[in-house]
Structure formats: structure tokens, C-alpha cells
Structure 1
Amino acid sequence: MLKKNIITAFTLLLLCLPAIFPLFKGGFYSMYDDMQVVRVWEMDKCLRDGQIPCRWVPDLGLGYGYPLYIYYAPLPYYIMEGIHLLGISLINSVKAGFILSVIFSALFFYLFSRRFFKQYVSFATTALYIYAPMRAAGIYVRGAMGESWGLVVVPLIFWALENYLAKKSKISGIILSLSLSIFFITHNLTVLIVLPIFLIWVVLRLKFYKVRSQALIDLFQYSLLGVGLSSFFLIPLIYERNLVHVETLTAGYFGYLQHFLSVSQLFVFTHWGYGPSVIGAGDDAFLGIGPIHTLAVITGLMVLIVKVNKRKLNLALFLFGMMGFLGYAFMSHSKSIFIWQNLSFLEFLQFPWRFLMMPIFISSFFAGFALNQSKGKFLIFSSLATIFIILIFYSRMFKPKDWFFINDSEKLSGENLKRQLTASIYDYLPKSASRAPDDVAPEGLIPLTGEINLKSSIKGSNWFKYDLIVESGMAELALPAYSFPVWKISANDTDIPYTNSGTLGLPKFDLTKGHYVVYASLNNSFPRTAGDMVSIVSLVSMFLIIINNILYNNVQENPALQAGGELNSDKSSSLGKPPSLTRGRTS
């Protein structure tokens, strides 16, 4: 089994190689969201400073900082920071983030596909998922780290559900909890897009497995545990969503009305380019589903519909695939504008073609139903032919337009740094500020009135410490940071009140003549503290479940079916397949 798993893992890596090979080159490349390096840099400052979880970043917003990781899903940046802490440069850590997103996408999609199909078929469906043009655009054109990892968590949660329903063990329940937690903290927009159809899939699979009440209760508890593990992010995100400006996220270029796709762009468009998404059908970019995936889902659905009379499950799968594929594609077309207008929260998706991550997933998966009908050598031939075709047509897209031999110090200094600090300057700007700053924040305290002698100044990730002498009778001073709940300011270990100052909303306080050590720190609000506590309790609960499972050797647990042993296990794979698809299965 170990040897087979190693061979399978090597095959998956080999399958991924054309998609990630350009990223092993030294230096970096241009992308539209050229904020990835600086975001990891800020995360690094947080963790080295003991701000865990990281919420306030000190340098963005032209050095005034803002609460980026309260609102911006942090998991990909924790992963890249973990790589950086191993001694890898920031630039290479970002490239590693993209590389791992492809590898884990392949792994989890393969595991999910293996629940339904033969091994060669699963390799073919995985190739379809890896080499979707929107992934190439996400990595090599747009630099969309969150979306790249969003394509990881979609197959992850679908596989984790199948894994749990097949085994109904404590370990598989914990895997489901962890998967859901990862899902919630990886990419906000992926959650918004995927959660509705995932819940429909849950209902279909519960019906297929004929889950009884106790198992249903267990499923709910493990799902709740997953939400609890991610509460450190979810609770502040929900309860503090009104503390920052978000109107710029949907204004101008980011308004969804400019980014609908035509029918030809959705299904038959094959032009590859490095341009942005623009109004109309003139995009110099491949943002649609493409003809190969469209043909794949049509073929798979045809196989299912032929078998509808034999298996009711096939009808459910057919309807799920057809409605999911066409429904999500419809949301990317201008005819769906009435839905966008009535569901105002959809505007935060910005680009309607983001919905196409689900048609890509569905088409890659449903292609397996067609390929799985073959037998023997013809099955191997058809699967390999599918892989060959997808590589011939789409692997050429997985490369950047240009490349720059640049290192961390060059990327994070001078005009390069200033450009990154000013990019997206209005995103998540605290509402205490009515405008963004015009220039970089001062190094130390800002004297509004009076005279001071600033002897020393230290800036942390979310705190400041100053040693100063107020030389005038009174001085009004302001921190070089936006006011946000909850700044705490003390002078000589005595808490002092503050108010918001000016159009930037800086915390302002008064000091009389004398020598002071001023310390200011951004403390947790109640939602942040509550979220942290819920996550800690959930984490402890998870470990207690694991320990209990180890100590008492739960009789329901079958070690042969654990995640590490199912890459090639026919027994585990057949548990999740519709009965009509399990006959005659060979490796």
C-alpha cells in the first residue's frame, strides 16, 4: 500500500509539473494583484511580534496600518509565512504558495474523484481540474492567491464529506471539521460562491447513505466544530464588518456590471492573453470555462441521463451537475443582472466570472462518469488521451508574461515598496478616517500643538512606545495610526483618554509639561476575544476527541481506511460510488 501511495503521489506531482515549473525560476513576475509579497511581509512582522492571530498590519495604508486580516482571509498567508520562517525568501515563499495551491488542488480533487472512479479516470479528471484556464489566469496573470487556494478547498470539503459519510469514525469527523475550518479561513468569496451548492450536495449524499439520526447529529457536531475552529476569523469578520470602508471594493473598475461574459466567452472562447477583464467581449484574457470543460460536462451528463431509468441516484446526480454547471455559468452572464440587483451582497464578488470556479469543478468531476464507462485498455487509453489533450491545449497558458530578477530587499524598498503600500489604500480603511493619507506616516508621534523632544521611538506590529519630554505647558499629540477599536494609550503607566483627530481619524491625546514614557497598543475588542476563545475551546475539544479515540480504540475506526491509505484503495473508493458505477471497477 505504501509503495502504491508513493507512486500515486509521484504521478500527481508529475501531472502538476507543467503548471508550476516556471515558478521554480529565480526572481518574480508581474501580476495585477502585486500585493502578495508585502502581505506576507506584514504577516511576518505580526507573528515575530507576538500578534497571534495577526489582525492589524503596521505598514499598509502608507504606514498608518489597517486591520487587514480581520477582513481578508488569512490562511494562505499563514502558510507562506510558515515557509518564510524556514529561511525561504519572501518572494520564493509567495511562489511556493502558488505551487502548493496547485499540488493540493490535485491531491484533494484526486481523493474526491477516487471515491467514484477508477484510478486512471481520477488522474484524467484531476488533470482537467488542474489545467483549467481560470487557474492559469489566477496564478500567472492576476496573481490571485486567495482564489488559487479557493480552488484547493472546494475539492477538500467535498472529499472530507465523502470520507466521513463512508467511515463515520471520529478521525474522519475531525478531518471534516478541519476541512470546514480551512474552507472558512481561506478565501471569503469562495465561501460565498461554494457554500450553497455544497449544502445541496450534502443533502443528496445524506439521502444516498441513508444517514440515521445519530449519525446526522454527529455530522452536525463535527460541522459545528469546524465553524468553532475558524471563529477567531469569522466572529470579528461578521460583527466588525461595519468598522471599515468597503465601498471602494465595489466602485469603479471593481463594479460587477463591467465584468459579465458573453456566451462565446463562457463556453467556446480560447484566446489567451495577459490583459485585464474589461467591459464587453474584448477581454485579452481567458476568463471562461472553455470548450474542453464544456464538452467534458456534456459527455458526463449524457452518460448519466442514459442510466436514469436504472438508478434514481443518477437522476439526482444529473440534475445536480446540469443545474450547478448552467446555474453558475448563468451568474457570469449579463442576463443574471436581476439576481445581482436583488442580492446586494453579490457585488462584493466584483467579477461575475468568479462563479466559474464551480462549473470548472463540476465539469472536471462529471467527465469521470463518461471515462469510467470504458474498460480495460480502452479505459487507460481514453484517460491518457484526455490528459494529453488538456496538456496540449492548456499547459502553454501556465507561464508569466515577463520575469524580473529581483530580491526581497529590492521588492520592499524605494518606489517598489511605496507602490505596494499605496495599492488598495482605501480597502479596509477604518471609518474613523474620511480619506486616505497623501504621504507616508511620520516615524514618531505627531505633535499637533506644543513642543516636544522625542528621545526614542519604537514601533511594533500593533503598538508604539515613545520616550519624550513635553517642553511647552501643554501638547496635543497624535499616534501615526488610524483610530480603531480598541487603542489603549498610557503615559507613565497611567491610562489616558483620546479622541479622533482630523480627516485621518488619528488617536489624539493631551500631555502637560514633563517627561513621559508613552505606550499605545491595539487591544482586542469583545468580538475578537470571543472569537479567539471559541477557537481555543474548539481546538481543545478536537484534541480531546483525538486522545479519546486513541485511548479507547474506538471499534468503529478502521486504520486501513484512514486518509493516508486511500490513494489507491479500491475498497475505500467504492464506498462513495453510486451502485451503478461500482461494478467491474479495476485499478
Structure 2
Amino acid sequence: MKIISKLFNVTVKRQMLLLIYFSVLSISLLSPIASNQYIPNSPDYAFHLVLISQAKEALANGQSFPLRIAPDLYQGFGYPIYQFYSPLVYNVVGALHKLVIPSNPWIAFKLSLWFGLVFAGVFVYRLVHRFVHSASASLLSATLYLMSPLLLVNMGARGDLSESIAICILPCVLYFSVQYHHKPSLNLFILTSLAWFSLATTHLITFIFSSLFIGVFLITLNIQMQLPLRRLAELGLAYAFAWLLALWYLAPVILLPPYLYTHYILNNPYTAGWLSPLSTLLTPSAASPMPLPGNGKLYFPFYVGLGWPMLLGIGYAIYKKILDNQVKVPVFVTPLLFLIFIAFFAAWSPINFWLFLPESFGVLQFGFRLIIQMMWMGAILFAWGINDLFQHQLDARHVAIGILLIAIANSSWIMTNQESRITLENLIERPQLSEWGTRSYVINPSTVLYDKNTTLNLLPVKETVHFCHREKAIIVCQIAISKKTTDVQLPVLYYPNMLNIKVNGKTSAYQPFPYHNETKNYFIINPMLVTLKLAPGNYEITSRFVGFALANEISLFAWSIFVLLLPLSVFNFIKRS
């Protein structure tokens, strides 16, 4: 009865009102992509819509979590893009597309953004309330986070689904990390690990840099508050457990990039500095850093900034820290200001300091992505600053006016893009990715050794493809070899130690050999395909992409522990309630 009565108390009613508020606000923020028929002119929209559509097809063809293969991409050669890029997003949104909105991936795209925004609003509110203990300031800060220029532009002009969802997950990650660091428990261990797992499998770049910034923030807090090192160790254990849960995805992403094309198309973030010059970061409204209509080479309105409400919150914190010695600022203000300075300088990149950092930092690609880290830090400082400015006396009148002022200040980043020449029908009927998407996760022939004499007795893929078909996630080939021992090239993209190849039911070793493409599609350039050396005879050959077996087993073991801990966690929660 106690649990039932709690469902109707004032706190729950307040939470319901918050959900309604964030739901309505989130709908309004998606106004630039309200049409269910036309898509904006940005390659990211087409990229994500193709992958959502392909995820639906993969699920319909019998693939299950985790999805790995996009069935119709790369001529049906088994392109494992979901193994390497944002698997959680496409598993969830693909399932949403298949089960709820089977006719239109564009609606599934937008519905996932709406869910993400509501989710982010709730957790920014809870996170900020954890630091400033003011419901009014927390609500204003959550509104500011959802109306951050980068998030608005990502959704309405650029169309980066996975990065937008990662921005929405990040407040949840930080909230549970802070809670677990403050008061460790089994429930929070599970939730913290699950949150970090979700971020890792949603957007790797956001996961990497969030790990760095949140890690430094919490370590600094631990030192300033003189808490025992055991708190950090326990938090590190939850973070490590998240790695184990996601190892099936993280291990290939970490170990294989030197062999993939994506390793050779990553840019020094300094070269993309024209996207986030100082004036654009500080501008009070959306303004292109380049002449229109081209906006450099983008041809769509991508202008990032921080927005003046967040800048004023940061500026107020700087003033109180440096110039106002009458009031001691909370312990979290100093590390946040330091980290914001680092992130701001790196996003601006006035000098090429990236040359002195490890090459792996190039995974960031664009300095403006560090604005994501400034968003959560700025949200906390904004809430603290406005609460302090009004001497902890914020009420409903201040909230109403504050929401209006935030909307006025940041609404210029809600921009309507031009219509794309690509239609939804084209994307669904003839799914094809951009050059980046098509080549990024394919083995580069220059990185692997292969026998160049194989061409002497090669049965090329243009002949074997007629004897192969797909059964769910497996490519099955029925091939007869009538002459001498032959190198048989299969319509299967080569990945070392990640394929389960069976010949007449027995596991077989396989070798790479480049596919000499004869089509006019210049995106597909001599990918490495699987080759088998076979003597004369009849063969049934099956190929299944499985990833790294050891990483899969470790993740499976970690998930088994997770499932075992879950009932105990639920029991503890009910007992406390």
C-alpha cells in the first residue's frame, strides 16, 4: 500500500507535469523537420535513414540484437556497419520502425529524437537539482540544455541522429555517476553501468570525451571534498563493468581501425576549425561563419555556438570566483570552469596544438563536438548562477520569464534547411550511403597481406555470386569445382578473425583477396573479399559475421551477471520503498 500511495504524492505529480512540459517543448524543437515526406538537404539525414531502413530489413530477415549486417548495402556482400557504428541506436530505432511505424523510417527517426529530448530534459533537471537544490533553477537549466544551439542544429539542420541521441543520454550518465559516487549501492551500480554502456554503443566519440571530462570532474570533486579513494574505485568498477557489457562492440572498434578506411579519413580537428571560429562560438544568434548560400562547402545551415544564456551563466560563475570574495563558491564551480576553458579552447583551436597530442585524439574530427561537454557543465553553472543571483528566491514568475528569454535568445538556431534532392522512396528502394559511410568500415587492401598469385586460379566473385544467397544473417553458397584446386572468391567482405566460415559443415580458414570492381560506383574500390582454396568437388559454404569471439563471450558473461543482479536490485528497491 505504501508503494501505491507514493504514486499519487506531490513529488510524482510534479514529475508528471515535468514530463508534460518536456514533451510539449520537445515537439516544438522538432518543427524544422515536421514534414513526414520531405527530408532536409544534409548527407547525415540520408545516412541515418538508410541505416534505420536497413536495420528494419535485418530484423525482418532474422537478425537479432546485436545487429551487425546491413543486408542490402555494399552489393549484399555483408557490410557489418552496425558492428562498428552506433549499434544501440539502430537496434532500437530499427525495431521502432519495424514494429510501430513500418511504412516510414523518417517518422521513426523523429520519434526517437522526441523520446531522447524528453529523456534528456528529465535527467538534466535531476542532475542540476542534485547540485543546486532548486526546482526552478533546474527547470530553467533543463530548458537551456534542450535549446542548446548544437543540439538544435544537429537535429534540424545537420541530421546527426546518433550524436543527438548521445547528447540526450549524457545527462543520465552523469546523474547516475554522481549519485553512485556520492552514495554507492547495487541499484546505482547497475544503473551507472547501463548508462555508460548506452552512451558507448550510441556514439563512441561522445563516450570517449565524456569519459575524460566526467572522469576529471569527479576525481577533482573527490579530492576537494576529501572523500575516500574507495568512492572513485567503486565508480571505476561500474565504468569497467560497462566496458565489459559493450566489449562485443568496443573490442573491434579499438583493435581494427588501423585496417579500415576510416583510419585514413580522420582529420586533425584543427583543419575543421573554420566551423567553430571564436566569433561563431560567442555570437548572440545563429550566423554563418562563411558567405551564403554555400556556407563554405556544406551547403546547409550548420552554425554552432554556445548561446548567450549559457555564456552569461559561465560569466557569472567566473565573476563570483575571481572578483567577488564575499561569498565562497561551491566546490564544483572551480573544476567546471577549468574544464569549460579546456573544452572551449579546443573547440576554437586557434593554434594547431593537436599536433602535440596522441594521434588517437583525431577521432574527435571536429572541435565543435567538445561543445557537448560544455553543455552539461554550462547547464550546472547556469542553474547555480541564476539561483545565486536571485538569492535562492526563484519562483514561478521567474521561471516563466526565464523560459521566454531562453527561447528568444536561442530560437534563431531552430533553422529550416533546404529540401534534399533525395527522396524517401529513393532511400528505401535503392539504399546507398555516402562515400564516407560506404568505405569507412571496409578493410583497406593496403593494410593486409594477400597472395597476388591467387589470380592464376581464381574463380572470381562475379561468377560465384550467382550461386550464393542470404538466409537471415548467413550467406550460403552452393559451388561445384570441376577443375584443379581453385581459389574461390565469395561475395563476403573480409574481416580477420570476425567471420565464421564453414565448408560442408566444417569451420574453415579463409584468406583475403581484393575485388576488382567493374561498376561505375566509385565509392566501392577493390574491397577485400573472402577467398577459399578448394579442391575439385561440390561444396556448401556458409559465412556468418560474428565479431571477435572472445569479446562476445566476455560480454555475454557480463550480461549474465547483470541479469543475475537485476532481481536483487529490484528486491532492494521494493524493500526500501
Range class of TM-score, shorter chain = 0.7 to 0.9
How far is 1:355 from its partner? 1.3
How far is 1:126 from its partner? 1.0
> Which residue, 234, 237, 240 being the options, matches 2:256?
240
Shift of the 460–241 alpha-carbon distance from structure 1 to 2, 3 Å rule, reads farther
Aligned to 1:540: 560
In structure 2, give the amino acid aligned to 1:294. Answer: L
Contact 1:434–1:505 under 8 Å retained in 2: no
How far is 1:67 from its partner? 3.1
How far is 1:144 from its partner? 1.0
Distance 1:424 1:399 in 2: 25
Contact 2:465–2:490 under 8 Å retained in 1: no
Indicate the SS of the match to 1:88: coil
How far is 1:320 from its partner? 1.8
- Determine if the alignment matches structure 1 residue 458 to structure 2 residue 469: yes
What TM-score do you get using the length of structure 1 for normalisation?
0.80
Distance 1:4 1:357 in 2: 28
Aligned to 1:298: 315
Aligned to 1:529: 549
* Deviation per residue, 1:548-581 (Å, 9 max, x gap): 3455x489x743xxxxxxxxxxxxxxxxxxxxxx
Higher mean C-alpha deviation, range 348-357 or range 288-297: 288-297
Superposed, which structure 2 residues align to 1:148-547 within 5 Å? Answer: 148-207=164-223, 210-212=226-228, 215-250=231-266, 256-260=270-274, 261-268=276-283, 270-272=285-287, 278=296, 285-304=302-321, 310-311=327-328, 314=330, 316-373=331-388, 374=390, 379-402=395-418, 409-414=425-430, 417-418=431-432, 420=433, 424-432=437-445, 447-448=459-460, 457-460=468-471, 462-470=473-481, 476-486=487-497, 487-493=499-505, 498-502=510-514, 503-509=526-532, 515-524=538-547, 528-547=548-567
How far is 1:451 from its partner? 8.1
Distance 2:34 2:513 in 1: 48
Shift of the 378–209 alpha-carbon distance from structure 1 to 2, 3 Å rule, reads closer
Contact 2:23–2:114 under 8 Å retained in 1: no
Contact 1:457–1:467 under 8 Å retained in 2: yes
Shift of the 452–127 alpha-carbon distance from structure 1 to 2, 3 Å rule, reads closer
Distance 2:532 2:560 in 1: 41
Distance 2:270 2:297 in 1: 10
Distance 2:182 2:445 in 1: 51
* Deviation per residue, 1:410-444 (Å, 9 max, x gap): 42224xx34x3655322112134789xxxxxxxxx
How much is the aligned-residue C-alpha RMSD, in angstroms? 3.5
In structure 2, give the amino acid aligned to 1:319. Answer: T
Contact 2:259–2:447 under 8 Å retained in 1: no
* Deviation per residue, 1:468-490 (Å, 9 max, x gap): 55566776532122221244444
In structure 2, give the amino acid aligned to 1:233. Answer: Y
Higher mean C-alpha deviation, range 213-222 or range 128-137: 213-222
* Deviation per residue, 1:165-203 (Å, 9 max, x gap): 444332122211211222222211112322222112212
Contact 2:86–2:201 under 8 Å retained in 1: yes
Distance 1:200 1:73 in 2: 25
* Deviation per residue, 1:244-276 (Å, 9 max, x gap): 22244325xx86413343221221262346977
Distance 2:461 2:177 in 1: 62
Unaligned runs of 5+ in 1: 436-445, 560-587
How far is 1:287 from its partner? 1.4
- Determine if the alignment matches structure 1 residue 103 to structure 2 residue 118: yes
Indicate the SS of the match to 1:542: helix
- Determine if the alignment matches structure 1 residue 16 to structure 2 residue 26: yes
Aligned to 2:148: 132
Distance 1:471 1:451 in 2: 14
How far is 1:409 from its partner? 4.7
Aligned to 1:570: none
Shift of the 57–275 alpha-carbon distance from structure 1 to 2, 3 Å rule, reads farther
Aligned to 2:100: 87
Distance 1:276 1:530 in 2: 48
How far is 1:360 from its partner? 2.6
Distance 1:62 1:328 in 2: 42
Unaligned runs of 5+ in 2: 1-8, 449-457, 515-525
Higher RCO by CA contacts (8 Å cutoff, separation 6 or greater): 1
* Deviation per residue, 1:205-227 (Å, 9 max, x gap): 33466544655543333333222
Higher mean C-alpha deviation, range 533-542 or range 183-192: 533-542
Indicate the SS of the match to 1:507: strand
Distance 2:226 2:434 in 1: 54
- Determine if the alignment matches structure 1 residue 39 to structure 2 residue 51: yes
How far is 1:36 from its partner? 0.5
Shift of the 21–283 alpha-carbon distance from structure 1 to 2, 3 Å rule, reads closer
Shift of the 136–62 alpha-carbon distance from structure 1 to 2, 3 Å rule, reads farther
Matched length? 535
How far is 1:61 from its partner? 3.4
Query: Percentage identity across aligned positions?
Result: 16
Contact 2:43–2:434 under 8 Å retained in 1: no
Higher mean C-alpha deviation, range 207-216 or range 78-87: 207-216
What TM-score do you get using the length of structure 2 for normalisation?
0.81
In structure 2, give the amino acid aligned to 1:139. Answer: M
Distance 2:475 2:554 in 1: 29
Shift of the 341–182 alpha-carbon distance from structure 1 to 2, 3 Å rule, reads same
- Determine if the alignment matches structure 1 residue 64 to structure 2 residue 80: no
Contact 1:267–1:289 under 8 Å retained in 2: yes
Contact 1:245–1:428 under 8 Å retained in 2: yes
Shift of the 198–488 alpha-carbon distance from structure 1 to 2, 3 Å rule, reads closer
Aligned to 1:147: 163
* Deviation per residue, 1:332-367 (Å, 9 max, x gap): 223341234433222222211111122232222211
Distance 2:49 2:83 in 1: 19
How far is 1:328 from its partner? 0.9
Shift of the 362–344 alpha-carbon distance from structure 1 to 2, 3 Å rule, reads same
Shift of the 167–62 alpha-carbon distance from structure 1 to 2, 3 Å rule, reads same
Contact 2:261–2:441 under 8 Å retained in 1: yes
How far is 1:330 from its partner? 0.6
Shift of the 355–380 alpha-carbon distance from structure 1 to 2, 3 Å rule, reads same
Distance 2:177 2:143 in 1: 22
Contact 1:482–1:504 under 8 Å retained in 2: yes
Contact 2:245–2:555 under 8 Å retained in 1: yes
How far is 1:129 from its partner? 0.8
Shift of the 480–488 alpha-carbon distance from structure 1 to 2, 3 Å rule, reads same
Distance 1:199 1:450 in 2: 51
In structure 1, give the amino acid aligned to 2:272. Answer: Q
Contact 1:490–1:496 under 8 Å retained in 2: yes
Shift of the 450–411 alpha-carbon distance from structure 1 to 2, 3 Å rule, reads closer
> Which residue, 50, 54, 57 being the options, matches 2:63?
50
Distance 1:61 1:94 in 2: 23
How far is 1:131 from its partner? 0.8
Contact 2:38–2:424 under 8 Å retained in 1: no
Contact 1:457–1:465 under 8 Å retained in 2: yes
Shift of the 210–543 alpha-carbon distance from structure 1 to 2, 3 Å rule, reads farther
